[in-house]
Amino acid sequence: MEKARTILATILSTLGLAGGLFLGFALAGPLGALTFAPVGALLGLFVGSCPLTCLSLLD
């Protein structure tokens, strides 16, 4: 279960990073991309780790 959690968190964090870069660049150019990339990565990491944590509480 720990390996699946790590893989899911890594994938969603990477998708959040890419999404933050794309959205930031689309909205505000290069400086927006630098601003939104860490935010997207953190949100992806949070979303990736939250559901599995909630499921592990049910065990």
Spell out the domain ranges in the chain: 2-57
CA distance 42 to 11: 12
58 pLDDT higher than 80: no
pLDDT band at 56 (very low <50, low <70, confident <90, very high): low
50 pLDDT higher than 80: no
What pLDDT score does 7 carry? 85
Residues 37 and 24 sit within 8 Å (Cβ to Cβ) = yes
pLDDT tens-digit map of 1-48 = 678 878 888 888 899 899 999 999 999 999 999 999 999 888 888 877
59 pLDDT higher than 70: no
